[in-house]
Amino acid sequence: MAIGMKKRTEGHFAMKWGKLFSSVGLFCFLAIIVAGCRSEEQGRITKYEPGVYKGTPDQALTSTQRRNLRYRVNMQAGATKPAGP
């Protein structure tokens, strides 16, 4: 009788772990599906074409913004005045 009890207990133990792994697997699957539905993921470009920009157009820089960028580039390059004769 002890042998029969041992087999039944081992089977019950295996079923418990099987249900646990199935539940965890289902939870992970649902988490991945829900993460793909975030608002940041909606409406983004998924079809890419080389050399074609499909995003919203950039705004043109003002002359002040261009001057500030030029100054920052010169400071990062270490140039304080134009080189040459």
- What distance in Å separates the CA atoms of residue 76 and residue 62, rounded to the nearest whole number? 21
Q: Per residue in 50-80, is it b (16+ CB within 10 Å) or e — as a string?
A: eeeeeeeeeeeeeeeeeeeeeeeeeeeeeee
Q: Over 70: is that where the pLDDT of 75 sits? A: yes
Average model confidence (pLDDT) for the chain? 77
Alpha helices in 1-85 (DSSP H): 2-35, 63-77
- What distance in Å separates the CA atoms of residue 68 and residue 62, rounded to the nearest whole number? 10
For residue range 21-55, list pLDDT tens digits in order: 888 999 988 888 877 676 766 777 778 888 888 87
